[in-house]
Structure formats: C-alpha cells, structure tokens
A and B are shown apart, each in its own frame.
Chain A
C-alpha cells in the first residue's frame, strides 16, 4: 500500500508545531505514533497535504509527579505508561488501559496524545482519564488552555481542538486514599482487536470507608464519544457499597449508552456487556479503595 504524498515537517518545539499547523490550516495533521493516522492514510480515508511530526519535541515526553499532580506528556508512548511505576501507583486504571491497547509493537509506537487526539470511541486510554477527572493541556498559536478531557470529544474522529492546537500534556490530580478505580475492555481476542465494550469506574469512600462519596463511570464503544453514566453515578453517591448496589448501578449504566449493531456485536450484546463490565470495574475500584484505606 502506498501512502499518499505529503510534505513532512519535524518541528522541535510546540510553538513551531502550532505555527506549522496554522500556516497549513485545514491541510495539515499532527503525526504522533502514526498507528492510527498512517493506517487511515494507507486506506485513503485521509490524505493530509502536510504531516507535522511531534516526535522531535522533547518537552512532550515528560512523565512526572509533582505537587499531587501526575503530568503525562502527550508524546509518552503507551508502553512507557504501561510500564510506569508512577502510573501504577497513582492512577492504576490508566496503566490497565495502556496494557490492554493493541499489541506490544503498537504500544511501542502509539502515544497517549494520539490515543486521545484520534478520538476513537473505542480507545483504551480516555475512559480511565475521564473517571480520574483528568485535564488536557492544549497549546495553540494564541496560547495555552486547559479543558476537562470529557469536553474534548465531539464525535468519532472529531474534537473541540482548533486546527492550530495540539495536546501537549495530560494532567491528572492524583486521587487521595479511600479511592480506587478499575478498567476493563472486551474484544473478540485479548490482543490486536477493536473493543466491543470498554468501561472505567472510579470510587471514593468517606473517611470511615462506609459510604461512597464520589463515583464516576465512563463507557466506551457504545456511543459516538466516550460517555459518562450519570444515572449509575447518582445511584452510587451517598450509598453503602455492596454487591447489590453495584448490580443496580450497572443496570442503570445500560440506560446511559447508545450502542450500535455492527459485525463485532449487536446493540443488545453491547448493552448486556456494559452491565457486566460496569459491575466488574466497580468491584475492582472498591477492592483498590479498600486496599488503600
């Protein structure tokens, strides 16, 4: 398969990258790991005239924890996130998503910024970031802004980023003790497959570890964007966590999604799996919260 022709740019700073995107507005795409974009270009789904490669911008590859916030540069690879002890300790569900993504070969190329920026409804990293309340740092020619990750997605492949903007980093406030999260994905196979359903759950308990103070549930592959299940969250907040409650919340989550039927599965099957994965990720979140109290 021959890639369509394009002009290749390799900026060494974020400012230079944004300038290039602005100069070739509408015709340029940022290139991160290339595992999504190059495939779409080979299939002739996209043929941007300019590729702005972000791999030569050193500031995009930092991964550090400072003042209670975990900063993940947009260029950090999925395999580095999967192997990171800082990630495993502070935001374990993000590590679970990273280990579930693609294959080892894909993980060595793919970046967290690309996994978010490509805005695929079945992506493995955004759900955990949503339930942790992560924010994206976007840089453009007119400066920098931050937005909650949930506000970034508009539809399959569509985002609220302007054409000259790049994701430069993801900021996650490290959750306090008394909290935990879990991420699960279901595909036909364990590796190298597009998800049929994926779910992330986050729970924070009160000081006595008796009642749920905060609950966030995000559903993937069952709508045009990753979705929050507000119905399930409402049931959980203020309640005493037990199996029955998680069953009710999981049932409620099935009413907060709009799955489609395709060759991977029927809408009914997807809805049923939202139920199962929500229940299981809530149990994972609870187990982690208990282990940290």
Chain B
C-alpha cells in the first residue's frame, strides 16, 4: 500500500504517495523528474546517486523514499541560484572536470558537503570527501583541481 510522505526537495515542500519499497533515487528520477541524480550501480558502490539529505551526502539508492519523510533533500538541480551556477558547478566546467558527466552530480554534492563544513578544505580532505564517488573518465585530477579552486 502506498504511503503519503512530506519532504522538501530543493526548497519545494512536497507531498507524495510512495510504495514502501521505492528508493529515494527512484522517487527523485521517476516521480519527480529530477534526472540530474544518476542511478549507477544501485548498490551504494558508485556514488552516482549522491544527494544531500539534511545537509549530509548519502547514496539515495540506499535510502527508502519513506525514510525521507520529514527530511530536506537537495539534488544537483537545487544548486543553481538566481545569480547563476553554484561556484562548484562553474569550477567543474572551467577546470575540465566533466567528461561524460555521469559522476558529476554526485561529485559536486559530495564536494558541497565538504565545503559547507570546511570552506578551505585541503587536498587530503577533498580526496577523502569524494572517495565514495567513482569516475571512469577523468582520472580524478581535474575534479580535485576544480574543488581546490573553490576551496581557495
């Protein structure tokens, strides 16, 4: 039986009916149309589905939609503001940190959690912060440079 939940996604208060066995990534992508959150391994290994839940970066494939009841979720779509792209998004473009783009949303959100907590994070902290996000294109170096650029 579907269950009614209330949550805030990218500053929008929502009320949705979800199946208990639906995951947060499926709710975001298939019900809310927020396909910026990617679905990779679906087992918590790759980090493509990373979102911020109450400010913490989590694998949204390992969270049930019903567990997000009452929580605040931020996805990649929620980073852009009236002034334009988030500094991390801009830095990823400028530093060539995006190739195929599949890991980018997750990378940026993991980096955002770090910089919200530690605005001047150093390289070892940056490397640790994105250690749950796999990238098969860039070799990580450009991604680390982009995050370092914002942390400066």
Contact = CB atoms under 8 A, between A and B. Distances in A.
B47 A39 contact: no
Interface in B126-150: 128-129, 131-133
Nearest to B128: A104
A192 interface: yes
Contact of A109 (B20, B45, B59): B59
Given A104-B129, A104-B132, A2 B21 contact: yes
A109 B129 contact: no
A42 B64 CA distance: 12
Interface stretch (A3-11, A64-72, A168-176): A3-11
Contacts of B62: 33-35, 38-39, 106, 109
Interface string B6-50: 000000000000001111000000000000000000111101001
A4 to B, nearest CB: 7
Contacts of B90: none
A140 interface: no
B38 to A, nearest CB: 14
A102 interface: yes
A84 to B, nearest CB: 15
Contact of B131 (A2, A43, A190): A190
B97 interface: no
Among A10, A42, A102, A108, which residue has the most Cβ atoms of chain B within 10 A?
A108
Nearest to A33: B62
A53 B66 CA distance: 10
A133 interface: no
B75 interface: no
Contact of B132 (A2, A7, A53, A103): A103
Interface in B101-143: 110, 113, 128-129, 131-133
B131 A108 contact: no
Nearest to A190: B131
A2 B23 CA distance: 9
Contact of B57 (A1, A10, A104, A190): A104
B99 interface: no
Contacts of A34: 62-64, 67
Given A1-B42, A4-B21, A108-B57, A103 B131 contact: yes
Contacts of A190: 131
Contacts of B21: 2-6
Among A3, A6, A79, A103, which residue has the most Cβ atoms of chain B within 10 A?
A103
B44 A35 contact: yes
A52 to B, nearest CB: 12
A241 interface: no
Nearest to B3: A8
Nearest to A41: B21
Given A102-B132, A104-B110, A109-B59, A8 B42 contact: no
A191 B132 contact: yes
Contacts of B132: 102-106, 191-192
Contact of B63 (A5, A79, A109): A109
A38 B20 CA distance: 12
Nearest to A104: B132
Given A3-B23, A34-B64, A192-B131, A106 B42 contact: no
A53 B45 CA distance: 22
A258 B12 CA distance: 54
B76 interface: no
B65 to A, nearest CB: 10
Contacts of B44: 35, 38-39, 105-106
Interface of A: 1-8, 10, 33-35, 38-39, 42-43, 51, 53, 55, 79, 102-106, 108-109, 190-192
17 contacts: A3-B22, A5-B20, A7-B20, A34-B63, A34-B67, A35-B44, A38-B44, A38-B62, A79-B56, A102-B132, A103-B131, A105-B47, A105-B50, A108-B57, A109-B58, A191-B128, A192-B131
Interface of B: 3, 20-23, 42-45, 47, 50, 56-59, 62-64, 66-67, 110, 113, 128-129, 131-133
